[in-house]
Amino acid sequence: MATLTPRTRLLLVLLSLGLCLGLAVTGWLIYRAQALPEVQGVVMGRAAAMPEFTLTDHRQEPFSNENLQGRWHLLTYGFTHCPDICPGTLAAMASVVRQLEQDGSPYDDLDLLFYTVDPERDTASALADYVPFFHPRATGLTLNGHVYNRFEAFERSLGIVYEIPEFDRFGEPYPDDSYPVNHGVKVYLLNPGGRLQAVFEPAYSEHGMVHFSATTLLRDYLRVRQHLDG
């Protein structure tokens, strides 16, 4: 049987250590690629495609999947008569953009979208009087002028939920133009390919009120962007 020289044994040990180190580094890189950032919500392991759609923006121009290309977007939904949750959410989203602008962030390629679930009242002109107040980069979107059922897939793909009740708690019909809208509260992050990248969830106050913190929303947005940059 051949006897290994000390030099050969050393070489084999070094090769073994190199192999183990290589496997460890490869495993760490795979884990890092698969591990999603921790956010207040859900980050998609693979961004989800959006169905084809065409809406009307607050400038009375068509807004479709093509308008999502090349920029990141934060999207939320609600209605302009909403007394607190909707303006609070839009204010938090606008604060994120302002902070990115102020910091000169490389992740400042971000626009804002507000999709109304009350198209009967929220026409393009109504949105024009409401949405730009929060930030010049904010765009209001409505179904106005389009057939509603074409957008069931759009709403379903984002998990948009809402209800427009016909009667008040006393069983009386709501007067025209003064009805409430019960709706969910989420902020969606769409990537420059027009795909859903993350869904951010609100926090709850000690009194059970839902709200978005601008600080948390900015943190989570940056975590997603930095994760994707590797």
Which residues are part of a known binding site for Cu cation?
82, 86, 183
CB contact set of 53 (below 8 Å; sequence gap of 6+): 64, 65, 150, 151, 153, 154
How far apart, in whole angstroms, are the C-alpha atoms of residue 227 and residue 47? 13
Q: Work out the burial of residue 90: count CB atoms within 10 Å of its CB; fewer than 13 is exposed, 13-18 middle, 19 or more buried.
A: buried
Residue linked to tokens 């990141």: 72
How far apart, in whole angstroms, are the C-alpha atoms of residue 153 and residue 201? 21
- Exposure string for 178-189, b = 16+ CB within 10 A, e = fewer: ebebebbbbbbb
Q: Could you tell me which residues are annotated as the binding site? A: 82, 86, 183
How far apart, in whole angstroms, are the C-alpha atoms of residue 18 and residue 41? 40
Q: What are phi and psi of 133, to 5 degrees?
A: -60, -35
